[in-house]
A and B are shown apart, each in its own frame.
Chain A
Amino acid sequence: MTTTASTAVSRKPIRWGRVAVHLGCLAALLVMLYPLAWLLATSLKPANEVIASLDLLPSHLEWSNYKTAFEGVNDVSIWRLLGNSLLIAGGAVLGNVISCSLAAYAFARLRFRMRGPLFAFMIATIMLPHHAVLIPQYIIFNKLGLVNTYWPLILPKFLATEAFFVFLIVQFMRGLPRELEEAARIDGCGPFRSFFKVILPLTRPALITTAIFTFIWTWNDFFTQLIYLFDPDKFTLTLALRSFVDASSQSAFGPMFAMSVIALLPIVLFFLAFQRFLVEGMASSGLKG
């Protein structure tokens, strides 16, 4: 839209179109955020008010719901559950960042036979439905005795199985000027040193995006956790939530949603801290595709 470069006196009339758009967005936002507000409100409602009415506001703040939630599920305290979730997510982040950046560097900057076909194969795996490999992976881990441990959840991340991030980092690396490596090479660096000293530090934005998305997706990943973890004290918050649902009746909604709020907190915190990275990471992944 062209900005008016007209007289300094110009007091523009109220653009009703603009106002309407703002109002529309605001209304849409309120509807969108309603479920979150509902969640927060319900987590603080006493049992009898949960289904009773449309009222969002609880009559009084039932903090005991949170107390119950803190006791955890099946005898496992919430700190343990939180710790488990953090462990898995943290391990996944480490794995992805390391392995995906290594692979991306090879694809983006190094020449080798079959680079083209391998790259195409990698892209294809992004579109592969996970279920085609799920069962044999399960069998492999089963035979190795690794079911009911965290290995099946973390090990694949160290082997660059999430091609989406490899792709993301490749695209980013392609944007870095080649002179950098030329210069490094002249200074006597081999591919390893130029990777670690030159390219990697510059790839930080893509790495951070990778780290954040990995964290969030792993945190929320239900299915894999469902099939691999059995011991209640190995459960993550996500699994514990589901357990909670199974073992209790309708009337335990308050504590269940209190626990839901707790389970969402890390994601919310990440989001608030890193929103720019997230949004821009998301945007660039779409554009460079």
Chain B
Amino acid sequence: MTTTQTPAAPPARAAAPTKRRPKRQREGAAWVFLSPWVLGATVLTLLPMVVSLYLSFTDYDLFNPPHWVGLRNYVQMFTEDPRYWRSVMTTLTYVVIAVPLQLALALVVALALKNMRHGKGFYRSAFYAPSLLGASMSIALVWRALFNDGGTVDHLFGNGGWINRPGWSLLAVALLTVWQFGAPMVIFLAGLQQIPAELYEAAAVDGAGKWRQFVSVTVPMLSPVLFFNLVLQTIQAFQVFTPAFAVSAGKGGPADSTLVYTLYLYDRGFVASHMGYASAMAWVLLLVIGAVTAVLFRTSRSWVFYASEGDR
């Protein structure tokens, strides 16, 4: 948005001889700085991507060399593997539940904190803490215990807890993500505080009530931040692993109800040793995430409002 970048000072003292080094030398310097990144991007990103694309057309168990099977992995995935579709549905369900819930909660709390005079800093940090802790194995274990037979949820609602019941186990996993709403909340809060007060005053003068102000001032001004959070959280949600793993003890159960896509990928690739198949799954995931991101970006044109254009 409004990144302050002072315009480059015009090359005033043209007389100073050491001022501009020859272009080639400067470019050379840039490449030196970039070299670790270039190495990493080539060897650890580009090359693996190509290799994994290749592997997706092979049968590879890591013990014996890969042997080419053409499209068989993809065909099997889409037509012969009911578990694959279950993992897709599970992941989609999870994304659709967890992301909106988490963002809504983040926004609500940010709004509540916006105008607080005392304790805002305290609440902000306190709500943020779970985001840091939530990704840990420790908390995942706590979650599993809380929702299990004999855990707090069981004591409150009866019925043996949620972990062993197919519909509810995914909800438990989703709640773990929602619990970590602190990170997007902090971003929302910062975004809210950047909205100039004059806009609200002008709206009030025009007779707009609280709700109208929210809809006409807050939402549009916040939309870039909202968009950023939406994209980030959605991409992360598609790749969720640790909570599902910990809550289901690695099995994706019960009845595959917590078998998210990456968990199934791990199972096929590392436990059942079908690396080719897992690679195919990874590429499909990549394409889907790319597509979803592209869709989000496209639709953003209609609802995201940038206060200052000409950015980037």
Q: Which residues of A contact B (CB under 8 A)?
A: 1-2, 18, 21-22, 24-25, 28-29, 32-36, 38-39, 42, 50-54, 98-99, 102-103, 105-107, 110-113, 115, 118, 121-122, 125, 127-137, 139-140, 142, 156, 158-161, 166, 171, 174-175, 177-179, 182, 185-186, 188, 190-192, 195, 216-217, 219-220, 222-223, 227, 238, 241-242, 245, 253, 256-257, 260-261, 263-264, 267-268, 271, 275, 278-279, 282-289
Contacts of B126 in A (CB 8 A): 29, 32-33
Name the interface residues of B18-58: CB closer than 8 Å to any CB of A: 18-19, 21, 26-27, 29-34, 36-37, 39-41, 43-45, 47-49, 51-52, 55
Contacts of A115 in B (CB 8 A): 30
Scoring B3, B36, B130, B179 by chain A CB atoms within 10 A of each residue's CB, the highest score goes to B36
CB pair A260 B138 closer than 8 Å: yes
Stretch from B81-89, B92-100, B140-148 at the A interface = B140-148
Secondary structure at the A interface, as helix, strand, loop or mixed, is: helix
Q: Is B125 an interface residue (CB 8 A)?
A: yes
> Residue on A with the closest CB to B249?
A245
> Residue on A with the closest CB to B1?
A287
> Looking at the complex, which one of A111, A113, A135 makes contact with B275 (CB distance below 8 Å)?
A135
> Residue on B with the closest CB to A265?
B138
Q: Is B9 an interface residue (CB 8 A)?
A: yes
> Residue on B with the closest CB to A268?
B133
Docked complex Cα distance between A287 and B293 (Å) = 19
CB pair A191 B116 closer than 8 Å: no
> Residue on B with the closest CB to A52?
B150
Closest chain-B Cβ to A79's Cβ sits at a distance in Å of 18
Mind listing 14 A-B residue pairs with CB under 8 Å? Answer: A29-B127, A39-B138, A50-B150, A130-B239, A131-B239, A132-B282, A133-B52, A245-B141, A267-B133, A279-B124, A283-B187, A283-B189, A287-B187, A289-B228
Stretch from B162-170, B251-259, B265-273 at the A interface = B265-273
Contacts of A127 in B (CB 8 A): 231, 235, 289-290, 293
CB pair A286 B1 closer than 8 Å: no
Contacts of B275 in A (CB 8 A): 135, 139
Assign chain B's interface to a size class: 35 or more
CB pair B34 A24 closer than 8 Å: no
CB pair A111 B26 closer than 8 Å: yes
Docked complex Cα distance between A268 and B145 (Å) = 21
Given A137-B48, A279-B128 in contact, is the A191-B26 Cβ separation under 8 Å?
A: yes
CB pair B278 A112 closer than 8 Å: no
Q: Is B286 an interface residue (CB 8 A)?
A: yes
Contacts of B156 in A (CB 8 A): 54
Q: Which residues of B contact A (CB under 8 A)?
A: 1, 3-6, 8-9, 13, 16, 18-19, 21, 26-27, 29-34, 36-37, 39-41, 43-45, 47-49, 51-52, 55, 62, 109, 112-113, 115-116, 119, 123-130, 132-133, 135-139, 141-143, 145-146, 149-152, 155-156, 179, 183-184, 186-187, 189-191, 194, 197, 201, 224-225, 228-229, 231, 235, 238-239, 241-242, 245-246, 249, 262, 265-266, 269-270, 275, 278-279, 281-283, 285-286, 289-290, 293
Closest chain-A Cβ to B191's Cβ sits at a distance in Å of 6
CB pair A222 B37 closer than 8 Å: no
Contacts of B30 in A (CB 8 A): 106, 110-112, 115, 191
CB pair B34 A264 closer than 8 Å: no
CB pair B33 A195 closer than 8 Å: yes
Docked complex Cα distance between A36 and B235 (Å) = 27
Contacts of B239 in A (CB 8 A): 129-131
> Looking at the complex, which one of B49, B123, B183, B242 makes contact with A282 (CB distance below 8 Å)?
B183
> Looking at the complex, which one of B16, B137, B224, B265 makes contact with A220 (CB distance below 8 Å)?
B137
CB pair B31 A25 closer than 8 Å: no
CB pair A192 B115 closer than 8 Å: no
Docked complex Cα distance between A105 and B36 (Å) = 12
CB pair B242 A223 closer than 8 Å: yes
CB pair B245 A136 closer than 8 Å: no
> Looking at the complex, which one of B3, B21, B224 makes contact with A171 (CB distance below 8 Å)?
B3
